[in-house]
Amino acid sequence: MGRLGYFFLYLCLGVVGVFQVFPIVWLFLFSLKDNREIFAGSPFALPEEIRWENYLRVWEGGIGLYFFNSVWITGVAIFLTVLFASMAVFVITRMKWKLSGLVLGLFMIGLMIPIHSSLIPLFNMFLNINLIDNPWSIVITYTAYNLPITMMILLGFYYTIPREIEEAAIIDGASLHRLFFKIVLPISAPVMSTTVIINMIYNWNEFVFVNTFISSDQYRTLTVGIQNFVGQYMTDWGAIGATLVISVLPILIAFLFFSNKIVDGISSSAVKG
């Protein structure tokens, strides 16, 4: 490809990038305006006065609690999902036993089940064990439903790990647990970053399970809590914009810091041999 080809390639990528970034910039500017500027002025105009009080008002109004709930529920679910998926894939790919293929198939069946088709059975199960209106019902659900896709991403990478590494560690006296936690997990860090981002996107944005299993305001996450704020600040569009910015900010930060690792992780899991 010549210079002209690269020029048009980067030009097209630049145009696509502008269209991708513009809604985020517009939402941020929207959150810094009052109703008069929003409805009377141009939607593309800069705010006449930067109104950071929109963020302070919604944070003090309760969005901070929803944000904290989203952070810890998402974080715990990601930790459990990646840990359990790594353990399962390690046992299936690095150890020889007769039913390994059958067990892997059972996990992969989870990819074919529509997530919300089990909403009523899960509700009945959590109701029987007194986990309705309990944030751990959300953590358990997220962990279980993200296991198949997480395992599928890890599988390709685990097959590429040279067995000589494990043999050397065993010769040096490493136990099975030490082999997994001290050697295999650190090696798989790039592909684990990919699974963390994928899990974070799903957990952070999920709505139906939280709306069904959680009824108390103190346990709600951002996706459900935003509904309350839209009703509470229906006439204050600047505050609504501030709420939306707060809800998307963690995902944007995660992508900025882990975008390169996502590509490396996908490449690592796709190559065998």
**Which tokens sit at 152?**
């599928």
pTM of the model: 0.85
**By percentage, how much of the chain surpasses pLDDT 70?**
91
pLDDT score of 75: 94
- Closest by CA position to 58, among listed 273, 241, 204: 241
Residue 267 confidence (pLDDT): 56
Closest by CA position to 71, among listed 256, 249, 258, 265: 249
Across the chain, mean pLDDT equals 85
- Reported as a pLDDT band with limits 50, 70 and 90, residue 272 is very low
Residue 273's pLDDT is 42
Tokens for 185, please give them.
């997990």
Higher pLDDT, residue 237 or 220: 220
Give backbone dihedrals phi and psi of 159, rounded to 5 degrees, phi first: -70, -25
pLDDT digits (tens, 9 = 90+) for 24-72: 888 898 888 888 888 877 777 888 888 888 898 888 877 888 999 999 9
Mean pLDDT of 186-206: 89
Backbone angles phi, psi at 174, to 5 degrees: -70, 135
Joined together, the tokens standing for residue 9 give: 């390639």
The contacts found for 216-219 with CB under 8 angstroms, 24 or more apart, are: 216/133, 217/62, 217/65, 218/65, 219/69, 219/133, 219/134, 219/135
The domain limits of the chain are 63-270
Reply yes or no on whether the pLDDT at 225 is more than 70: yes
Please state the rounded mean pLDDT for residues 133-147: 94
Residue 59: DSSP 8-state: I
Write down the pLDDT at residue 259. 67
Per-residue pLDDT averaged across 145-165, rounded?
A: 89
CA distance 53 to 248: 19
Among candidates 88, 77, 107, which has minimal Cα distance to 202?
A: 77
**Cβ atoms within 10 Å, residue 19:** 9
Cα separation, 73 vs 65, whole angstroms: 12
pLDDT tens digits along 237-271: 888 888 889 888 888 888 777 766 665 655 555 54
Confidence band for 149, pLDDT divided at 50, 70 and 90: very high
Q: Quick one: pLDDT band at residue 135, thresholds 50, 70, 90?
A: very high
Residues 6+ apart with CB under 8 A from 122: 137, 141, 209, 213
Helix (H) or strand (E) holding 18: helix 3-31
Radius of gyration over alpha carbons of the chain, in Å? 23
pLDDT score for 268: 54
Going by C-alpha positions, the residue among 137, 129, 117 that lies closest to residue 214 is 137
Of 266, 261, 86, 94, the C-alpha closest to 165 is: 94
CATH 1.10.3720.10 holds for 63-270:
yes
- The three-class DSSP label of residue 221 is coil
H/E run at residue 203: helix 189-205
Predicted confidence (pLDDT) at residue 231 exceeds the cutoff of 60:
yes
